[in-house]
A and B are shown apart, each in its own frame.
Chain A
């Protein structure tokens, strides 16, 4: 059944969602066009292509292959990964360095900025009307490519607002992540975990700031850690310290309530601000010293006092500023997606800081973690349960009517469904093509 905009609008009520948004393949295809085809999608970090000729390949949605490159002049591009000739994917390795991209089929060769360099036996095109200088013979650029503090986003929509406008107040979290480095910059380090999720991509996003689930979903691992800690003798300091990473995942409703949730226009949100479940991690002394040396004590305290748990840049990226890792989601089908976890080094910080980040990524986000698989189990059960015809709706009423509109942001309680309502306001606006692109278009 084809959906018109009125049909789509009816699927999202102010505090209820129709189950078909998770289960209908047709809606999934529309999401790929209208959300993933319009929003700024996170591609990668500039530190993944540090030198001229470096490249990194990914997809911008469930299908469209792109390559992030650094050209000879040092400029970063996001290019469609397709040969202009017959359409073969040009670069089929995850990352590397190339002087030029040469197609494996007929040898059309491109500069690292995407412009055509040469084609073999060119004479065959003489007087045929074919023009090698036609820009369509270059690798095509994504409609938009912008970066903020090294984080590279691209969009397929030529009318998308500029990146900063689109991020709104959620920009503060990128600043906070980078400011936590004594040198004010972060870089990708320590590899990636790829975790296959047999569920709709939106369940993963909804869970980020769902603060009503940890004490239920993660009760088992928290209790397992607490039981073990209780067996430890007083002097087992290192064992205790290691096991104590886990209990914050079972923090109480009150702790999460006090962290608050803040939402923004295009579906972005974070929980925390003043405090979060990551607020009580102790600051390692050498790291503290490096920060104070770089920023002074007052500014250092200010940086550490902005404590968020997860920040979502709807729909493709979520970052943990206090932990320095990020997760990227890529949909594959209505009931399948992949979540990648990348870790970051704080430039100028002691090496132990990266090791701490990697420990966190492994313990919490790995497919073999004792935390992530229990989350995924819940998502898969929703994917199955929502096939039921017994009830067409899921609710998001928690603290509905209490969200405070502060102009550029909406603020509410830490256990509210404000994060859900923020996402689905954006979902509805994207899907019904209701965002007014004229007011914010990069082309004025």
Chain B
């Protein structure tokens, strides 16, 4: 049970770095081979043989965190703010790499371009125990409306 409390705390800390966007610090939570995936269909098997809304590895996270604060990224002139609520956190066991597999539900309100939007769905985190905390090897964000037309999303959820 202590492990689950620790994991919950870690997920809240991660979300906080997206709520008040600090992508430089957020990225440090990921392992060198870490990936962030947002599929575009329910039950999507993989990010390589099907298109996705997001699939960032370390390379694209490195580019994105720099682009996010670039003074000439016009889509970033409008600041983005989010508010995440994470619940139903469940430790599902370990995968074949020995990572802890954690699933949870989330709801996120995102304010951007004078408009408030609501996102919801489930997370799947693959966590590597790292000293007193964790590194994220993989995070999957399954939106409940993944197939619907999407507006510009300039921040990770």
Contacts and interface: CB of A to CB of B under 8 A. Distances in A.
Contacts of A368: 38, 53-54, 150, 152-154
Interface in A313-369: 338, 341, 343, 351, 354-355, 358, 361-363, 366-368
Contact of B73 (A220, A354, A361, A372): A220
B75 interface: yes
Interface stretch (B43-51, B89-97, B99-107, B120-128): B43-51
Contacts of B83: none
Contacts of A377: 74-75, 77, 152
Contacts of B44: 191
Contact of B63 (A191, A194, A358, A370): A370
Q: SS class of chain B's interface: helix, strand, loop or mixed?
A: loop
Contacts of B66: 223-224, 227-228
Nearest to A381: B74
Contact of A367 (B57, B64, B147, B153): B153
B67 A193 contact: no
B64 A370 contact: yes
A53 B40 CA distance: 26
A246 B44 CA distance: 26
A327 to B, nearest CB: 12
B52 interface: yes
Given A195-B149, A239-B59, A361 B51 contact: yes
Contacts of A225: 63
B72 interface: yes
Interface in B116-150: 147-150
Contacts of B51: 190-193, 341, 343, 358, 361-362, 366
Contacts of B84: none
Interface residues of A, number: 44
A366 B44 CA distance: 16
Interface in A48-87: none
A297 interface: no
Contacts of A370: 63-64, 67, 73
Interface in A200-252: 217, 219-221, 223-225, 227-228, 239, 242-243, 246
A196 B150 contact: yes
Contact of B72 (A190, A219, A227, A243): A219
Contacts of A376: 75, 152
Contacts, number: 116
Contacts of B52: 362, 366
Contacts of B55: 362
A270 B61 CA distance: 33
B30 to A, nearest CB: 15
A236 to B, nearest CB: 9
Contacts of B71: 220
A242 B44 CA distance: 23
Interface of A: 189-196, 198, 217, 219-221, 223-225, 227-228, 239, 242-243, 246, 338, 341, 343, 351, 354-355, 358, 361-363, 366-368, 370, 372-374, 376-378, 380-381
| Among all A-B residue pairs, the 7 with the closest Cβ atoms | A220-B73, A224-B66, A220-B70, A194-B149, A373-B152, A224-B67, A367-B150
Interface of B: 38, 40-41, 44, 48-55, 57-60, 62-64, 66-67, 70-77, 113, 147-154
Given A220-B72, A220-B76, 15 more contacts: A189-B49, A193-B40, A220-B71, A225-B63, A228-B63, A239-B59, A242-B59, A354-B49, A366-B54, A367-B53, A368-B53, A370-B73, A377-B74, A380-B113, A381-B74
